[in-house]
Structure 1
Amino acid sequence: MHTVTIHARAAASLRTIAGTDAGGRYEQRLAAAREVLQGRSVWHVNSTSAGGGVAELLRSCLGYLVDDGIDTRWMVIDGDPEFFTITKRIHNRLHGVLGDGGPLGGPERRHNVDVTRSNAIDIRRSVRAGDIVVVHDPQPLGLVPVLRSLGATVIWTCHIGADTPSPLVRSAWDFLVPDARAAQAITFTRAAYAWDGLEADRVHVLPPCIDHGSPKNVAIDPERTFAILRAAGLISGLGDCGDATFARSDGTQGRVSHRAQMTQEAPPPSDVPVVVQVSRWDALKDPLGVIRGFFDEPSITGSHLMLAGPMPGTVVDDPEAATVLAEVHELWESLPAPHRGRVHIANLPTDDAEENATIVNALQRHADVVVQKSLAEGFGLTVTEAMWKGRAVVAGRVGGIRDQIEDGVSGILVDPRDLTAFGNAIGSLLADPSLASGLGAAAEHRVRERYLAPQYLGAYLQLFAELA
């Protein structure tokens, strides 16, 4: 295992960003948690420090708790390729998808135990009796009984799930539930995701959030947006457009200096409408369906499509990314020349996490429409990010996205397997900027009311106080 440094973030804005009532509730929960956490540490354990929504959530939000006086720490487990192949298989099954079709049986359980035993050596050196440990998702779940034996209070958080449990979903539950039952509390992002076989009084619903003050979500003016996108090689057609700098979380200044790895015929002009999807290279995000649906709508003639994701091989716990990206490239190459010229595949630089976040921020702000055509989704952080920026969003009517977006009010929901409906929704927004603007304004308000750090962190602080 290794420890990730958490930089303190100025927490004063948590009292105001979501309104007076939310700020007051956060302050009350913080005071109660401080009282019971004296002399205790709060640990978060997951499987990667970069790439994916959980790592991003922890990186951006934990610093507020540090600034507010909560001794907060973050550890990441180590694992070999076989371990992450198994956990990706579990991830897919929890979404109701077969994935690689491999088994979940005795050999897989024994390998997980071996990896857990190796990580437990480090965890025993760090965690003390009385500490609170939040274990995120299936990868480190095997550590829960180990942590309980050390006298820690353990919360297991599952960020993924399926709308309707199938035998495939239940096979993943059966594999995981012995370790999950060892936790004093279990949180899900939606009530519908709670498993059978868990004690109801241990189950809590805590939807995630975005960090309003992070490089990915902080306000950027149009001039700097263009500068950042040009510096990253994502758009063309601009002269000297300003300085591609950004404020880092630690207060220092950064500059966008790494360029995206592009698959395209030419960069999109800066003045054409752009539809954007930002996601991992994951079959559940359906990048192939995004391309096909985009061209299924004949009215989308002058617009361009950009699919943006991380550089290949940079997300340790996602072994299927290279295969999915290769399929996207294959489809792009098969498109007729006029269509191919309007599709751009962007592998965003990931050497600097906050530079990457800044590029995503600028790309979402530049987009005329943001899409997230997920076939399954626990909670769509990229959906919330785009909503916070006042973008019109078209997303799959699945999982947590159904909670995030009120269809026709703060975005448009579609059956993600209906390519015609998906294309029609995009076309309607591109054809009616006032409709897109109205949905975007309502989207920003909904995020402010429900999905910012004061609500999320406050809910965890309340749970800490109840369990400690």
Structure 2
Amino acid sequence: MREVAIAPVPLDRLGALLDPQRAQRLAGAADRARSLFAGRTLWNVNATATGGGVAEMLLALLAYSRGAGVDARWLVLDADPEFFAITKRLHNVLHGSPGDGGPLGPAEAAHYREALAHNAESLRALVRPGDFVLLHDPQTAGLVPAAREARAACVIWRCHIGRDEQDDLTRSGWEFLRPHLGDVDALVFSRRQYAPDWVPAERLAVIPPSLDPFTAKNAELSPADVDAALRRAALVLAPKDHGSLRFRRRDGSWGTVRPHRDLTLDTGPVDAESRLVLQISRWDHLKDMGGVLRAFADHLPDLPRDTHLVLAGPDVTGVGDDPEGAQVLAECRAQWGCLPAEARRRAHLVCLPMDDIDENAHLVNALQRRAAVVVQKSLVEGFGLTVTEPMWKARPVVASAVGGINDQVVHGRSGLLVRDPTDLDAFAAAVRDLLVDEEYARRLGTGARERVRDLFLGDRHLVQYGDLFERL
């Protein structure tokens, strides 16, 4: 395994956004954490340092933890493609989807254990008696015994995915993982409904995700800076000669948006006068990018003529733990190629660079702030940071009423929910309503930002983890 370097960030930066009572509660939690972790390390282990919401949350939460005086560290697994194919299959079945349809039998279980064996050696060499180990998602469940052998004071497994209703597929995934999880002190889920029925109540904790408003992905940007970034990246034909190309990196230094020419596949940049309907997510069947593209094309006559669709995801070569991405992207490109000419002209597939994760985040920020409507038409969703992010930017959101999105969006107050994620007519109608009624869209955007401020900033997340550590 390799360790990800994390620069400490003072808690005061986050506290400045909070009312006095919340800021005081955060400061008190930090004082207790410093005392609890004196002489200890809090080790976090996950599958990747780039791509996806888990990596983004770890970066922010551990930076604040270090800023509060806790020795919080981050390790990333080293494993082969077959291991990640198996864990992607696990990811899908825990969402109730067959994924690639492959087995999760004895051979897969054996390879899972073998691939984690040398990671376990690394963990045993690093963890000292009394340390805490926080393992994230299915890829790391097999490291529980190694953490115990290292005499960690507490071993916690955090699952960021799940499905409200259990079925035979989800149960097969949980049965694959269950032998590895019998000796953990706590199991943490984003929603109580995600926990399988064999998890003891006394070991169950519910901690929803959060976002950090100061990262490159969420920091405030002026309209001119948005235009400058999207123009330089050749995503939007924005006006020239105004706005800054600079962005703040996670280590505190400054970066500059590089010129790009090939981020938009098969089409050119969006016209400056056009309004954007945007979905940003991984190239994953469960995100239903193809369904968004089909709904847009089928209902194009119902939408204002200046509406363009942007489907944006990561450069698939830069996300090592998701072998499905290249396939989904190829399917979307083939689908786009079969659309009528006008739909092709107004639908854009974008692959954002992953070689500079801070620039990637800045471009996501700019796209979300440029969007007239942000959508997330997931078929299943553990918790959608790609919903929380535009909500924080006061953008109106249309999302599927699945999983954790139901906790984020209050229909008609902080966004619009589509009850059936496969109902393309209802989805397109919701998008149209926001495009034709700009006052309604502004009202929902204001409600969205307030809801994120109330429930989904990092102070709540950190305090909940602190309470859990104290209890354990």
TM-score range, shorter chain: over 0.9
CA distance in 1, matches of 2:3, 2:269: 39
Deviation at 1:400, TM superposition (A): 0.1
1:97 to 2:102 alignment:
no
Tell me which amino acid in the other structure corresponds to 2:309: L
Q: Deviations over 1:409-466 (max 9, x none)?
A: 1000002100000000000000001000000000000000000010111111111122
Residues 121 and 146, structure 2, Cα contact 8 Å, conserved in 1: no
Tell me which amino acid in the other structure corresponds to 1:425: A
Deviation at 1:242, TM superposition (A): 2.7
1:293 to 2:298 alignment:
no
Residues 84 and 322, structure 2, Cα contact 8 Å, conserved in 1: yes
Alignment of 1:45-444 (within 5 A): 45-152=45-152, 153-259=154-260, 261-297=263-299, 298-302=301-305, 303-414=307-418, 415-444=420-449
Identity of paired residues, percent?
48
CA distance in 2, matches of 1:131, 1:150: 9
Residues 190 and 404, structure 2, Cα contact 8 Å, conserved in 1: yes
Deviation at 1:71, TM superposition (A): 0.4
What TM-score comes out, normalization by structure 2 length?
Answer: 0.97
Change (3 A) 1:237 1:205: closer
Tell me which amino acid in the other structure corresponds to 2:282: R
Q: Deviations over 1:214-268 (max 9, x none)?
A: 1100100110110011111110142222321112222211101052521143211
Moved more, 146-155 or 274-283: 146-155
Deviation at 1:115, TM superposition (A): 1.1
Residues 264 and 343, structure 1, Cα contact 8 Å, conserved in 2: no
CA distance in 1, matches of 2:436, 2:240: 28
Q: Deviations over 1:373-394 (max 9, x none)?
A: 0000000001000000000000
Q: Deviations over 1:57-100 (max 9, x none)?
A: 11222111111100010000111011000000000000000011
1:455 to 2:452 alignment:
no
Residues 374 and 398, structure 1, Cα contact 8 Å, conserved in 2: yes
CA distance in 2, matches of 1:76, 1:266: 37
Moved more, 53-62 or 367-376: 53-62
Residues 369 and 390, structure 2, Cα contact 8 Å, conserved in 1: yes
Give SS of 2:138's match: coil
Moved more, 54-63 or 87-96: 54-63
CA distance in 2, matches of 1:146, 1:124: 6
Residues 226 and 243, structure 2, Cα contact 8 Å, conserved in 1: no
Residues 9 and 249, structure 1, Cα contact 8 Å, conserved in 2: no
Residues 264 and 341, structure 1, Cα contact 8 Å, conserved in 2: no
For 1:26, the equivalent position in structure 2 comes to 26
What TM-score comes out, normalization by structure 1 length?
Answer: 0.98
Residues 94 and 174, structure 2, Cα contact 8 Å, conserved in 1: yes
CA distance in 2, matches of 1:58, 1:244: 26
Tell me which amino acid in the other structure corresponds to 2:22: A
Aligned length: 467
CA distance in 2, matches of 1:348, 1:171: 34
Residues 86 and 108, structure 1, Cα contact 8 Å, conserved in 2: yes
Q: Deviations over 1:325-355 (max 9, x none)?
A: 0000001100100110001111011111111
CA distance in 2, matches of 1:161, 1:417: 19
Residues 32 and 462, structure 1, Cα contact 8 Å, conserved in 2: no
Tell me which amino acid in the other structure corresponds to 2:224: E
Moved more, 144-153 or 22-31: 22-31
